[in-house]
Amino acid sequence: MWGYADVGADIYVALGIVALAALGFTPLAFLAAGLVYAMVGLCYAELASAYPVAGGGQYFALRGLGDLWGFVAGSALLLDYTIDIALFTVIAFGYFNFFLPFAEGLTIHIGPTHVHWFWLLETLAGILVLVWMNVRGIKVSSAFNNFLGVIAIIGQAIIVIAGFSLVWDPGLVVSNFTAFPATFGDFALGSSLAIISFVGLESISQVAQETRRPATIIPRTSIGLILSVLLFALSFSILAAGMFHLGPGVKNGFYGHSGDPVAWIAQHIPVIGVVAAPLTALIGGVIVFISANSGVVSASRLTYSMSQFKLLPLWFNKVSKKYSTPTRTIVVFSGVAIIQTLIAFFTPGGSATSNGAIELLTDLYAFGATTGYLIVFVSLITLRFKDPYTPRPYHMPLNFPLTYRGTIIQFPVLGVFGLVGVAITWFEVILTHPLGRIAGPAWVVLCGLLYMLYRRRQSLPAAGNVPRDWEAAQKRVLQEAEEYESLEAYEAALAERDGVLAAQP
């Protein structure tokens, strides 16, 4: 399935850390996050098909809310992409280390910190490989991505079916629920971490501009991904609750296995486990590493879009004369990922069997994702009023018509529910992620100060907007996307609007 290699990798990352946080309520945490994710996915399906432009959430915010909020959304998403590079490379080698069982014990103690030095070196080497690949323009082919997505779906389906058939115990699910109930704080932490299982749609929207006929492809793909990822996330969480005790700390079956949770499940399935575990570790490692690579690629696309709209210096637009790749962007943001990795591994909190680096990186990842999604939902609602003329091949369900300045607007009721759901998740992140609530906002504030400095030096409005002809830009976008029917409908809507305005006294 197109895009599953990017989006479907997230369950390989999130399952263990959510189980360690939400305990016996792990399936409920995934359900709560999944409901929010479904609304986020439908929101992106509407916006990416209506505005098929590289930039994703940053572009939607720019169109709907203006330059400053476009930059805030972009900075939050850049945080996510750099964390994507770091976190997913860490997890990828967590799966690869399934074949190196001695690696877990290779730690050094520096004060209160247990540093997994071998895992750290693997991660840094992995990020450098990603830099080398992207600087030289070596791309993972779409055919291989599709192939890997199919293999991942088949592999996950086999594990789920075999697990439920051979080892799952419904009584253990009930026992976990009653014996290890999550406190409000635990559940808030778990459900906010579970949102990590459902990110990736932003990276899909980044390639909308490169997709032919996005009006058809984007909604269909997004809805397919929503259903498949939601199905597997809920299935794995329920399966885990019926296979392991999900108590606090060492009483949790995933303690010491936050880096390879799906392979850990496969290993405990009778009959097939001896074969399924290494295959799952290999597939999981590869698919998560490719998802880390998508962080590098998406950061490049996003910074290019932001520099085109004068939200970042044009310095980021420069490409290598030798390889014709955005070397500066690749090196800068991969360098940020390396710094984040070093800080994460040396941050106190981990133990010999619990990687504190994963905890810190997921904290930041959850903050960036929820901040970006929050702004995108506000943009969706705003654009329904500001730009009712752009054809929307797909609308979020549950709309009711209202008249605004003489034009009938379809008000998105489900969009409001999605906004509330993401806002609740964002507050969960702020309340339950002690490092994320400091480092995440600090990143956005620091980026905001650099933005203000850049705009001032360019004699551009720091808090205002650069004048742009959005209507001409939208016509050009639809023309390049070969969405000729949408282009005709858009021009007709503008002509009707202009005719009405001309007829007014």
Query: What pLDDT digit, counting tens, does each position of 351-394 carry?
Result: 433 567 888 888 888 888 899 999 999 999 999 999 999 999 99
32 Rama sector, left if φ>0, alpha if ψ -120 to 50, beta otherwise? alpha
Give the span between the Cα atoms of 289 and 492, in whole angstroms. Answer: 46
Q: How confident is the model at residue 501 (pLDDT cuts 50, 70, 90)?
A: low
The torsion defined by the Cα of 281, 286, 289 and 290, in degrees rounded to 10, comes to -150
Q: Residue 351's pLDDT is what?
A: 41
Residue boundaries of the structural domains of the chain: 4-468, 470-505
Please report the DSSP string for 122-189 in residue order: HHHHHHHHHHHHHHTT----HHHHHHHHHHHHHHHHHHHHHHHHHT--HHHHHHHHHHSPPPHHHHHH
Give the mean pLDDT of 277-292.
87
Query: What pLDDT digit, counting tens, does each position of 207-238 carry?
Result: 767 777 787 888 888 888 888 888 888 999 99
Q: If we measure between CA atoms, which residue out of 415, 422, 420, 418 comes closest to residue 400?
A: 415
Least confident window among 117-121, 207-211, 398-402, 463-467? 207-211
Q: Residue 140's pLDDT is what?
A: 60
Burial class (CB in 10 A: 0-12, 13-18, 19+), 271: exposed
Give the span between the Cα atoms of 475 and 465, in whole angstroms. Answer: 21
Structurally, at CATH architecture level, domain 4-468 sits in: Up-down Bundle (1.20)
Q: Which two tokens stand for residue 494?
A: 């503008």
Q: Residue 74's pLDDT is what?
A: 93
**Per-residue pLDDT for 132 more than 70?**
yes
Give the mean pLDDT of 10-27.
87
Give the span between the Cα atoms of 399 and 303, in whole angstroms. Answer: 34
Q: Residue 353's pLDDT is what?
A: 37
Give the span between the Cα atoms of 424 and 416, in whole angstroms. Answer: 12
The torsion defined by the Cα of 115, 121, 127 and 130, in degrees rounded to 10, comes to -160
Alpha carbons within 13 A on the beta-carbon side of 350 = 31
In whole angstroms, how far apart are CA 330 and each of 74, 142, 288, 319?
16, 20, 19, 10
Q: Residue 352's pLDDT is what?
A: 36
